[in-house]
Structures are given as C-alpha cells and as structure tokens.
Structure 1
Amino acid sequence: MRLPVNPPVKPMLAKSVPGIPDGASYEPKWDGFRSLVFRDGDEVELGSRNERPMTRYFPELVAAVLKELPERCVVDGEIVIATDHGLDFEALQQRIHPAVSRVTMLSEKTPASFVAFDLLALGDEDLSGRPFEDRRAMLVEALSGAGPSVHVTPATTDPKVAQRWFTEFEGAGLDGVVAKPLDGTYQQDKRVMFKIKHTRTADCVLAGYRWHKTSTQEKPLIGSLLLGLYEDGRLQNVGVVGAFTAKRRAELVEELEPLLLGDGEDHPWQEWSSPAAHEGQRLPGNVSRWNATKDLSFVPLRPERVLEVKYEHMEGTRFRHLAHFIRWRDDRTPESCTYEQLEEPVNFRLTDIVPGLGVAAD
C-alpha cells in the first residue's frame, strides 16, 4: 500500500469522564471491534486496536469496502454485528476463528457491518492533522454513497441530544456516548477523546477465585473473584471482579480461606471443565478465542458470601466488562442474589439510530 497514512496505525483513544462535557461533537459509543480500514485501489486491510490485521476474519467487509468506500482512503470505525435485537458482541467474537471454512460460513451466516466515525486520509491527503470538525464533514461527504454494509455514525453538537442518546441507545446494545473536541487532531494511541459509559451496581455471590499471574507459592496473590447470580435455583456465572492492589490481593488469600471446600463438598460449577456442562448452565472456563492457552481454572469456594459490584452493562447474561468491587454485603443471603435485581434498558432499534444498519444481514 502507498497511502498518506499506512498500516499499522494505533487508533486514537478516549478516557472516561463522569458526564457529558460541553462544546464537543457527540457520537454513540459502538460496542464492537475497533478497526481502521485501509483501501488503496484493490488492496484492503482491516487493522485492529492491537495493530493485528483482522482482514481474514471478515471477507464480506473486504468486499463491501471495495464497493462502498473511496478508492484510496483510511477510515476509523467499528466492526459490529447488527440484529433485530441490537448489537451482538457474542456473535462478533465467534468470527475470530483459525479455520477458513468456518470464517467463510460465519461471514454468510452472521455478516458484519462497519460503522465509520473518522477519516484519516483521502486520496493523497493526510487528514490526521486537520481539526475533527473538518474530518467529520469530509467523512460524511466521502461516504455519502456507502451502504448497505458501511455506515457513518450519527453525530451532534447538542449536549441535550447526546444525553438523550446516552439514555435511549443502550437498549440497542450501545454502551454510552463519545465526545470529541471539534478542533482536535487525530493523535495515535492518545486518550484525547472522552467516553461516558453506563455504570450500575449488583449484589453477586462469590463462587471462587483465580490466582494472579504473578502469584507464587511463597507469595500467593488472588487475581480475580468469580461472580454468580441465581436463576431458577441454579447459580449462573455472570463475570469476574478484579483490579485489586497487590496488598489487597495478598489479604484476600487469608480472608477467603474459611470458604474453601472441605473434603467431599460439592460446588455448583464443579463440572466447568466439561464442554458438555456449558450447554445447560452458564459456567466459567469457556476457552478464550483470543488466547486459547490461557489457564481458566479456578479455586472453588462455598457460595456463602455476597459482594456488591459496579458494572457497565450486560452482554446477554454476563457482565460485558470486568466488574469492580464496592463492598461486602454480609446482610444479604446468596439465594437473594438473582437476575431480577438487574436494570433492563428500554428496547431501541438499531435502524432508528443508523438507517439500514444490519439490513444486509437479513
């Protein structure tokens, strides 16, 4: 490729802020795979946040880029899978697979879309030094003929509209709002944008823990706590909580020792290592598609203690991201920790946000 901006490129990042700031351009925060699309004539590359090409996993998007994007351009955006029920991140994760035959099958069964939100280069011009306000206008014009697989994200400079989007769009699977300074240049790997994300709390059952990667026999450290919620009398895995200090990781080893299983005691998730067991119950330990060699074993604990955690939003029946510890809730019984406590966002259709998004998948 011989573009004004060539791969690999580290995408510009956002830092979390508690509220929507004034004087910016606001966009929905899409929940997918961040990707920079490079097109130079018949050559197409789909970059990723970690700079690893994703081109082979999305052949339908390569074909769409050749049809729907300008002949020479670099576009920043998000790869998503849109359904009638909103964005499907689980289906998106399934697309990362080593087998060509499966990649081809999934590209037809669950085709992806690309939502563009920035323009780094067009023709022979490097636009990364131009203000975002200019780049946004050029993006809208350059992609005016795109579709049905490539779309431009909606944007507004009205903070009241952004606040409404923040509330409504979660029901379509979006996880907040991004604010971009109108005069900001494109700065690779710098947190110069702002993201406002949903945060909620839930009381969960402590069901086990994993050791920290630096843990040793001489200095044991707990890495993360496994969380559960009851559904129809069964304890279902809902995610993990982590981000402890080294001191706290060491303290937890001794603090949780009384909950270790005794000889002959059973655990609700004791069959986690059996693939068949995952079909009837949500258990920890599914192999990661991103790191198949990762050790997913855990130390089971008697599910007798409750903790309150902060989370952003759900991905199906699990927390989408790592949850954060708030406090122990020794006043709660484990059996009282059910899915019924979780707040459900108002349902919202993706096509009301971006007309035609996901239509190509029908």
Structure 2
Amino acid sequence: MDLPVTPPVDPMLAKAVTTVPDDPGVWSYEPKWDGFRALVFRDGDEVVLQSRNGKDLGRYFPELIEALRDELAPRAVVDGEIVVPREIDGRTRLDWDSLSQRIHPAASRVKLLAEQTPAHFIGFDALAAGDTSLMDAPFRDRRRALGELIHQQGWCHVTRTTEDPELGAHWLTTFEGAGLDGVIAKRLDGAYLPGKREMVKIKHRRDADCVAIGYRIHKSGEGVGSILLGLYRDDGELQMVGGAASFTAKARLQLLAELEPLRKAEDLVYDGEPSRWNSAADKRWIPIRPEKVAEVAYDQMEGNTDAWQRFRHTVKFLRWRPDRDPRSCTFDQLDVPVHYDLYDVLEAT
C-alpha cells in the first residue's frame, strides 16, 4: 500500500465535556455517530478498514469494502464510523444491536448479515488525499478535502457539520432520535493528532430509578462486580435493561453485604448471554428479590419500545433509593428523544 499515511494509525480521540463549547469561529460541530470507529485506507483496489485498536475490520464488512471502492477516491485515507441503519417504528435510525452482531467468526454468518443488515460508512475527517498527507493541515482544510474524497453517497457519507454553536447545541437533543450519541466539536485550525484527545464530545446524560434484580461476583472473587437492573413494562413484567459496574474494592464488599440477603435461593445462579467481545468473561449472575431501587446515570436507551429496551452502555450507580417503590420503576420515567430520521441527519452535507 503506497500512501503518504499507512496503517496502523491511532485515531484522534475526544475528551468529555458537559456543554457544547460556545466559541464562534473556533469550533466545528458535528453529530457524534454511535457505531464502530474506523479508518479507511484505499490504494486502488486495496482497501484496509482499521478499527480503533488497530485491527482489520474488513472481513466483517465485505459489502462496505466494495462500497468504498466505488464511492471513495482511488487513493485516500479517511476517518469515520461504521453504522447500521434500520427502520424502527417507521423511521430510519442507527441500530447498535444489529451492528454488534456483525462481528462474527463464521464466514457464512458474515455473508448472511452483510445481506440482511448492510453497513454504511460515515466519514468525518481526511488524513490523506493522493500523494498528500493532511495530518498537519487545519481541520477546515481536511473537511474540504473530505467532501472531495467521498464522491458518491450511497453507502458512504460525509457527516453534517456547522460552525454555529447554537445549531450544534440544537443537534445534541434533536438528532438523538435517529440513534446518534451526542455532539463532537473540533478546532477549525487544529491538526490531526493520532491518539490525542484533541476533540471534545458532549454526550447525553440522564438519571433513572431501576430495580436491582441480581448481581455478578467480581472477577477477583471478592464482592459485587456488577448490579443487574430492571424496569417494569406496561404488562407488569420486570424486564432486564442492563447493569451498573466499576465499583471500588470497598464498595464491592459493601454491596455484597447489602444484596446477598436478598438472594432468591442459596444455590440459584442464572447463565447470562456470552460476551461478543470477551468470550472468557463469566456472565453468570445471582438473582435477588426485586426489593431495592437504584438511582443510576445513563446516556441513552436502545431497542424498539414495542418489544424491548435496554441501556446502550453500562450505567453508573449513584445511590440507593429507599423512598421508591420498586413497582414504580417503569419505562415511563425515561426521557424519550425527539423522533428523527437518520436521513434527515445526513441531509445538507
């Protein structure tokens, strides 16, 4: 591969802030896509799709490799996100569950999923064009080059951007309904700095009261590693929606003392779904009586409201809520994002 920038390259990262920076003329704002980060290297027919941690994603997305050959300039390096859109409740939005299932060891399964849930590529930065490296160029120039490198937009897209901080803040709330994850801000005069947190990200943060329905023992064997959480559906069934983790050693032991007396049976242990990312992880969990309510911080939900919902990421445990009746912990309390179609987000790029 004869390019001015060759793999592997550590992608430039973002640090979290709580508000959209309000500095007109300093920042460029864009939606934060909720998918797999990927750097694309194309030299003629040779295309490398590199993950955030340097692994080759090409074998999992053969349809995207073909699309990049058709829609990306013959010699280019671009940074972006792999996403899977899906129609949900009459609108097209990003579907994380379908995307995560694309990482599968069986070639036959990969082929089937490529047909059933084809991926798109959302480009948001340019690292090289032809024989020219753009790493040291300001973002405003890299952005201009990006629009020239992705010359068709069927399966490959150029993300929408604005230099208006008010519009950027508006996107933080409106675009979530299309399955997006927040807003990214980049300095207009900033270079591309691999591995450095030179961008800023503003993500959705919310609180919810959930029923503690079980726990897993920490991998050390001491204390609670995670608390499994549930919410009551309209039909009165308690549905698992995710888990809270990342406790200190002291908190793990304290949580075990609080939750162990609630075990449904001394020897009752459930098998959890195996982790796609860590097959060696022990997913067994211990069910408890649904008597305690936990207040947690979360960013967003995923799933179809008519079938199931769950937390998109592991949530943060805030505190116990002894004042809350577990039966009052329903889906109604959750903040429902504005309905937005994915292709409305991709407009005017």
Counterpart residue number, 1:223: 225
TM-score (norm 2): 0.92
Give the superposed CA RMSD.
1.7
Counterpart residue number, 1:49: 52
Counterpart residue number, 1:195: 201
**Structure 2 contact 76–149 (Cα < 8 Å) conserved:** no
Candidates 311, 315, 334, aligned match of 1:319: 311
**What is the deviation of 1:212?**
2.0
User: What does 1:60-139 correspond to in 2, within 5 Å?
Assistant: 60-84=63-87, 85=91, 86-139=93-146
Counterpart residue number, 1:307: 294
Paired residues, number = 336
Q: Residue deviations 1:182-234, cap 9 Å, x none? A: 11111111111100011111110111111222x23xxx132111111111222
Candidates 155, 163, 167, aligned match of 1:161: 167
Q: How many angstroms apart in 1 are the aligned matches of 2:196 and 2:106?
A: 35
**Can you give the 5+ residue segments of structure 1 that lack an aligned partner in the other structure?**
274-284, 358-362
**What is the deviation of 1:128?**
0.9
Secondary structure of the residue aligned to 1:95 is: coil
**What is the deviation of 1:319?**
0.5
Secondary structure of the residue aligned to 1:160 is: helix
Q: Percent identity?
A: 56
Counterpart residue number, 2:34: 31
**Alignment of 1:185 onto 2:191:** yes
**What is the deviation of 1:310?**
0.7
Counterpart residue number, 1:339: 331
Quick one: which amino acid aligns to residue 225 of structure 1? I
Q: Which moved more, 1:290-299 or 1:23-32?
A: 290-299
Counterpart residue number, 1:282: none
Counterpart residue number, 1:276: none
**What is the deviation of 1:287?**
1.9
Quick one: which amino acid aligns to residue 241 of structure 2? V
**Structure 1 contact 45–53 (Cα < 8 Å) conserved:** yes
Q: How many angstroms apart in 2 are the aligned matches of 1:254 and 1:294?
A: 24
Quick one: which amino acid aligns to residue 314 of structure 2? L
User: What does 1:1-16 correspond to in 2, within 5 Å?
Assistant: 1-16=1-16
CA shift in 2, pair 1:263/1:76, >3 Å: closer
**What is the deviation of 1:251?**
2.0
**Structure 1 contact 148–356 (Cα < 8 Å) conserved:** no
Q: Residue deviations 1:109-150, cap 9 Å, x none? A: 11111000000111111111111111111111222x222011
**Structure 2 contact 30–161 (Cα < 8 Å) conserved:** yes
CA shift in 2, pair 1:263/1:330, >3 Å: same
Counterpart residue number, 2:281: 294
Counterpart residue number, 2:156: 150
TM-score (norm 1): 0.89
Counterpart residue number, 2:306: none
Quick one: which amino acid aligns to residue 330 of structure 1? P
